[in-house]
Amino acid sequence: MTQTPHIGVKNLNVRIGDSHLLKDININIPDKSVTSIIGPSGCGKTTLLKSFNRLLDDIPGVNITGNVLVDGEDIYGKHADVTQIRKKMGLLAQRPFPLPMSIYDNIAYGPRIHGAPSKKELNALVEHYLKAVGLWEEVKGRLHGSASSLSIGQQQRLCLARGLAVEPEIILGDESTSALDPISTKIIEDLIIQLKEKYTIVLVTHILRQARRVSDYIIFVYMGEIIEFGPTEEILLNPKEKLTKEYVKGFIS
Ligand SMILES: Nc1ncnc2c1ncn2[C@@H]1O[C@H](COP(=O)(O)OP(=O)(O)OP(=O)(O)O)[C@@H](O)[C@H]1O
Ligand SMILES: [Mg+2]
């Protein structure tokens, strides 16, 4: 792999109470590419994704050891600034959670918090990010209408636009299309492929066809361990490890 790692994980172990959820994770996630995390239910995909954004911190009884380097800086280091770390990453959840306000204000929310743009600048930002997710034409006549009036697929694109408006470097997605119809799913997948020009993208998915369509690299996780990591075609079509073979065999023809 010749690309620079954007996220580097070193000897990461996550325990909650007596459960050892992630075991000695070592991985370098390349910059400006899409990496999918696959594996059976309960294997630790969401936990791994959340460890990149320090979203595990608040779980009672959690114990995290090891390092996660983002741009070379350890996000679990003593002097790490959690707000800054989170600002670098946009998170697209399984279901869209638009803020209970207008379409316009959903996008303007982040820029308003992080700076004091003028009305004119905000208008331009809102248009820019709605265009970036292909939503502008659909909503330009109702920008001040409630975000909750949008379809679920449109809401998910709005949430993506809201995340992008904070200017992250990394986009994390946890089964972000699982609540969507096939057309909305396709729109999000196409956006992901476009967005990797500018962002490092890490997606959790249990849909191997989706991993194949959108990702450059795949991480296969099984019972809290990374079994195999490599280019998409290699993992899905010609894996080295027996466990990976067995996992992908049932799904890929
Ligand atoms: N807050 C928690 N407290 C205790 N155990 C937890 C907690 N969160 C997750 N786990 C356990 O950690 C393991 C990994 O969970 P995780 O949500 O990361 O799996 P996953 O691979 O994302 O699964 P799925 O595909 O079903 O979403 C599971 O056994 C889960 O029950
Ligand atoms: Mg999960």
The full set of domains in the chain, from first to last, is: 1-88+168-253 (3.40.50.300), 100-167 (no CATH)
**Beta bridge pairs of residue 92:** 173
Tokens of 21: 């959820």
**Beta bridge pairs of residue 27:** 9
C-alpha span between 197 and 193 (Å, rounded) = 8
C-alpha span between 143 and 232 (Å, rounded) = 39
What average pLDDT does range 145-151 have in this prediction? Answer: 97
* Best residue among 13, 14, 16, 226 to mutate for probing ligand 1, ranked by most atoms within 8 Å of CB: 16
Answer whether 8 contacts ligand 1 (Cβ < 6 A): no
Under 8 Å between Cβ of 195 and 45: no
* Best residue among 19, 52, 207 to mutate for probing ligand 1, ranked by most atoms within 8 Å of CB: 19
- Among 94-98, 123-127, 209-213, 249-253, whose mean pLDDT is lowest? 249-253
Count the residues in the chain: 253
For 171-228, the pLDDT digits (tens) are: 999 999 998 889 989 999 999 999 999 999 999 998 999 999 999 999 999 999 999 9
C-alpha span between 97 and 31 (Å, rounded) = 27
Q: Helix, strand, coil shares of the chain as percentages rounded to 5?
A: 40, 25, 35
For 11-69, the pLDDT digits (tens) are: 999 999 999 999 999 999 999 999 999 999 999 999 999 999 999 999 999 999 999 99
> Rounded to the nearest 10 degrees, what angle do helices 182-195 and 152-164 cross at?
20
Answer whether 146 contacts ligand 1 (Cβ < 6 A): no
C-alpha span between 131 and 147 (Å, rounded) = 16
C-alpha span between 105 and 46 (Å, rounded) = 29
Answer whether 47 contacts ligand 1 (Cβ < 6 A): yes
For 67-122, the pLDDT digits (tens) are: 999 998 999 999 999 888 888 999 999 999 999 999 999 999 999 988 878 999 99
Cα–Cα–Cα angle for 48, 189, 218, nearest 5°?
A: 40
C-alpha span between 240 and 200 (Å, rounded) = 26
C-alpha span between 56 and 89 (Å, rounded) = 15
pTM to 2 decimals? 0.92
Position 115 scores a pLDDT of 85
**What residues pack around ion ligand 2 (CB closer than 5 A)?**
46
C-alpha span between 235 and 189 (Å, rounded) = 20
Answer whether 51 contacts ligand 1 (Cβ < 6 A): no
